[in-house]
Amino acid sequence: MIKKICVFASSSNYLDEIYYNDAKELGRLLGINGYDIVYGGSNLGLMWACASQVGENGGKITGVMPEKLHNMGVFTEGCDEFIITSGMRERKAKIDSISDAVIALPGGFGTLEELSEMIVQKQLGYNKKPIILLNTNGFYDKLNAFFEEMIEQKYANKNMRSMYYIAQTPSDCIEYLQNYTPSELDVDKNAIYARN
């Protein structure tokens, strides 16, 4: 059962309003549809815009933050549960272990790194979680084009396309979560390394 949704997102407070609007709407929809959120614990940017709306609409908020960032004071006291880890790698492992799905909102290098790791984890069969990229304002168009270039030039197998879903709206994210069926792809060397 999909219940706890990991959300990766920007911690910037200086983005165009369209990004915050979609983050808030996603949080609202997660909450009213019975989902909880697991996120980085920040009181900043798209992260908190989304998480706060989950809480305001009936969902629980779990924040996971490395000690160094916590000591900088960028955390929120609005979480139902707050977990402090020793570092970033431990933070990602904890988020992964307690979440059932992943949604990547627009973000910077941290979001990209977290998203990439989750896609590879799924490719290698360590999880079968839905992985969604919320493509607000076409933010992920160029990244998707780069993914396609990797597949076209045979740096990645074409079955990688099934590892993630690019949603155009917050409601699209919810519909995908509600209808998600885990892939039964065999994880063997042919599935991973076979020629396209």
How many CB atoms within 10 Å of residue 39? Answer: 28
pTM of the model: 0.95
Q: Rounded to 5 degrees, what angle do the CA atoms 166, 117, 4 make?
A: 65
- CATH number of the structural domain spanning residue 67: 3.40.50.450
Which tens digit of pLDDT belongs to each residue from 21-75?
999 999 999 999 999 999 999 999 999 999 999 999 999 999 999 999 999 999 9
Domain range for 48: 4-193
Give the number of domains in the chain: 1
